[in-house]
Amino acid sequence: MPKVVIESLESPGVTVTLDVKDGGALVDLCDENPTPVPFSCRSASCGTCRVDVLEGMDQLLAPEDEELDILDVFGDDPKKRRLACQAKMRPGVGLLRIRPVAVDV
């Protein structure tokens, strides 16, 4: 069963581990469970939900143009970083490990 491990940015070493039955959107997974991933626009506009993919990028479907455009605005490498509001997991067995990106204030 696919598994998503979400590391906490504020509390190093604290993780949320979720079993994912059939893949699907990361945003739905985060809505259905208490996770440390922040969201704002949910439409690939603000970059609030950017996450570093620490392991298992191959568990995600390729980013679409909207996601690539906002990652480009932030200078992010889509091979290492994704938008949690847009990324979708493939169905199947695998591990995805992510961590929210620190936001400069």
Interface residues with ligand FES (CB under 6 A) are: 39-42, 44-49, 70, 83, 85
CB of 93 to ligand FES, least distance (A): 27
Nearer to ligand FES, 83 or 98 (CB): 83
How buried is residue 37: exposed, middle or buried, by Cβ count under 10 Å (0-12/13-18/19+)? buried
Nearer to ligand FES, 20 or 37 (CB): 37
Measured from the Cβ of residue 104, the count of other Cβ atoms closer than 10 Å reads 4
Q: Which residue, judged by CB position, is nearest to ligand FES in the bound state?
A: 85
CB of 1 to ligand FES, least distance (A): 26
- Only one residue has tokens 């996770």, namely 35
Strands 3-7 and 15-19: antiparallel
